[in-house]
Structure 1
């Protein structure tokens, strides 16, 4: 099972000091957080994609390429690549380039985003969001899997004899997760292709997450990719820790109360009771995260949001130390207990290359039989 962090890259004032970091400070902080993730033994760093203030990560592959040059093991991903408003040709080229630069340590998460005005900024209509996601991703898959593509669709100009360059590393495209909070159409899309489904359940109660994950698992099996238990699932989470739970609550409360995403709404206590947000001791984080398996089944990837709501970099790095030293080692051990042998691990470039080689060998054997 993979553990990591994702960032939305918000530039938010620190409510305890009133200070707002500059865009440069925030970008540099995100890089420092990624490097810290590898240092403390996490598996994944993922960045969001936004094109509006107060967010800075408008060019995820630029940031991930920079991080790739300074890391050795960290899987570099996105916590949304906007399949709706990005040109599939550019996605194909950018992530294949990144894949080569990072020696295969790359995957990505497709999503529609949550900011309506982005659509017209890139010449699209938000009312076509689902249709854009379906058509654009179908084209992206062909661009990565076919050397020469002829294509015509509704939302972009046709392609004739087009070759996307560079080709994917080892002829194996990056693994794709489809991220969604509330759209069963996206879970259906992930299931249809046998891709991963990431339910970023940070704002939703367990029963909603269970319904979405169960739906994806059933459809994954329906399309012949394996049993429901073999579907590839990822979950989001939010944590804030201190050794003493009362200290964690006291320190985090002003950040929660003023956060752009959930401030001025339900109380911290109500939110931690009803969603995956955990504010407390490392042991409380361990216990609540292990509870995700009760409603999502055995899954493959757990990403935590830790650098939001104006938290200073020093505090985030302290959180990562606790996550890497006290929480994740226990989670790895406990999640491994009772995990069925036929439940796959999270895909990596190496495992995908091995699977492709095995499939080719099987095809040759059938032809020769």
Structure 2
């Protein structure tokens, strides 16, 4: 199972000091967070994509390429690539290039985004969000798998005998997660292609998460990719820790109360009861995270949001230290217990390449036996 950090890259005032970091500081902080994630033994760093203030990560592949040069093992991902407003041709080229630079340590999470004004900035209509996601990904899927593509659709100009360059590393496209909070159509899309489904359940109660994950698993099996428990699932989560839970609550409360994403609504205690948010000791984070398996089943990737709401970089790095030292080692051990043999590990470039080569050798052996039998 993979554990990591995802960041939305918000530039938010620290409510305890009133200070707002500069964009430069925030970008550099995200790089430092990724480096710390690798240092403490986490598996994944993922960045969001936003094109509006108060966010900075408008060019995820630029950031991930820089991080790739400064890390050795970390899987580099997006926590949303906007399949609706980005050109599928540019996505195909950018992420194939990143694959080569990072020696395969790359995957990508497709999403629609939830900021209405972004759509017209890129010549799109938010009312067509689902249709854009479906058509654009269908094209992207072909661009990564076919050397020459001729295509005609509704939302972009046709392609005639087009080749996306560079070709994916080892002829194997990046693994794709389809990220969604509330859209069953996206769970259906992930299942149709046999891709991963990432439910970013940071704002939603467990019953909603259960329904979305179960839908994806059922449809994954329906399309013939394997049993429901073999479907590839990822979950989000939010944590803030101190060794003493009362200290964690006291320190985090002003950040929660003033956060643009969930402040001025339910109390911290109510939100913690209703959603995966965990504010407390490392042991409380372990217990809450382990409970996700009760409604999502055995899954493959757990990403934590730790750098939002104006938290200073020092506090964020302390969170990652606690994850690496006291939380993730326990989670790895506990999630491994009683994990059915048929549940796959999180896909990586190396594991997918090995599986493809094994399948090719098996098919070649069958062909050889058939030729001997019919000779």
2:205 aligned with 1:205: yes
Aligned residue-pair number: 369
Q: Deviations 1:235-276 (Å, cap 9, x if unpaired)?
A: 000000001000000000000000000000000000000000
Aligned to 1:257: 257
Q: Deviations 1:28-74 (Å, cap 9, x if unpaired)?
A: 00000000000000000000000000000000000000000000000
Aligned to 1:303: 303
CA distance in 2, matches of 1:341, 1:60: 35
Aligned to 1:63: 63
Q: Deviations 1:75-96 (Å, cap 9, x if unpaired)?
A: 0000000000000000000000
CA distance in 2, matches of 1:30, 1:210: 31
CA distance in 2, matches of 1:363, 1:153: 35
Aligned to 2:351: 351
CA distance in 1, matches of 2:53, 2:216: 33
Aligned to 1:266: 266
Aligned to 1:145: 145
Aligned to 2:90: 90
Aligned-residue offset at 1:297: 0.2
CA distance in 1, matches of 2:351, 2:33: 27
Aligned-residue offset at 1:361: 2.3
Q: Deviations 1:134-178 (Å, cap 9, x if unpaired)?
A: 000010011000001111101000111110000000000000000
CA distance in 2, matches of 1:117, 1:343: 41
CA distance in 2, matches of 1:21, 1:309: 12
2:329 aligned with 1:340: no
When the two chains are superposed, the root-mean-square deviation of aligned CA atoms in Å is: 0.6
CA distance in 2, matches of 1:152, 1:332: 46
SS for the counterpart of 2:355 is helix
CA distance in 2, matches of 1:253, 1:313: 17
CA distance in 2, matches of 1:365, 1:134: 37
Aligned to 1:243: 243
SS for the counterpart of 2:340 is coil
Q: Within 5 A, what are the aligned runs for 1:18-37?
A: 18-37=18-37
CA distance in 2, matches of 1:11, 1:169: 34
Aligned to 2:183: 183
SS for the counterpart of 1:69 is helix
Aligned-residue offset at 1:358: 2.2
Q: Deviations 1:13-40 (Å, cap 9, x if unpaired)?
A: 0000000000000000000000000000
2:52 aligned with 1:52: yes
Aligned to 1:329: 329
Aligned to 2:156: 156
Aligned structure 1 segments of 4 or more residues deviating by more than 4 angstroms: none
SS for the counterpart of 1:251 is helix
Aligned to 1:129: 129
SS for the counterpart of 1:302 is strand
TM-score, normalised to structure 2, is 0.98
Aligned to 1:7: 7
CA distance in 1, matches of 2:366, 2:38: 43
Aligned to 2:214: 214
